[in-house]
Amino acid sequence: MHRDSTFVTDIVQGVVGALDRPSGYEVINLGRGQPVLLAEFVQLIEKLAGQKANLVTTPMVDADVSYTYADIQKAHNLLGYDPTISVAGGVSQFWNWYQRAILRPQQS
């Protein structure tokens, strides 16, 4: 399966861009616009964690699709939206935050 993983700061950039350029009632897709194989996403996390994930493979449910991503051309044209954080960079930033905030929180 492929999914369009987008780092939160890129989504915020798009939302702020929409607020800064009001254009009525427009539907604008925000995302990275580049699908990533879920297995590759998991491999990025495994590499940072230093261990293999305990995965349980199950059949795809009927309501799901195997390949999705956002068409961000309209966001680019109307808002100047241009995601800058790669999937690997976003996973790395998330992992660093997770290490600090969850695994090793500051002692009170």
For residue 16, is it within any domain?
Answer: yes
Residue 108's pLDDT is 47
Residue 64's pLDDT is 92
- On the question of pLDDT at 106 being above 70, the answer is no
For residue 48, is it within any domain?
Answer: yes
What does the pLDDT look like over 42-80, one tens digit per residue? 999 999 999 999 999 899 899 999 999 999 999 999 999
The DSSP string of 5-44 is ---HHHHHHHHHHHHHS--SS-----S-S--EEHHHHHHH
Q: How many domains is the chain partitioned into structurally?
A: 1
For residue 8, is it within any domain?
Answer: yes
For the chain, what is the radius of gyration of the CA atoms?
17
For residue 75, is it within any domain?
Answer: yes
The CATH number of the domain where 21 resides is what? 3.90.25
* Contact by Cβ (8 Å): 32, 83: yes
Residue 79's pLDDT is 94
For residue 80, is it within any domain?
Answer: yes
Residue 4's pLDDT is 95
* Contact by Cβ (8 Å): 51, 67: no
User: What is the extent of the structural domain holding 17?
Assistant: 2-103
For residue 108, is it within any domain?
Answer: no
- On the question of pLDDT at 15 being above 60, the answer is yes
Nearest C-alpha neighbor of 91 from the set 54, 19, 36: 36
For residue 69, is it within any domain?
Answer: yes
For residue 56, is it within any domain?
Answer: yes
pTM of the predicted structure, to 2 decimals: 0.83
Please tell me the least confidently modeled range out of 22-31, 71-80, 97-106.
97-106
| CA 89 and chain centroid, separation | 10
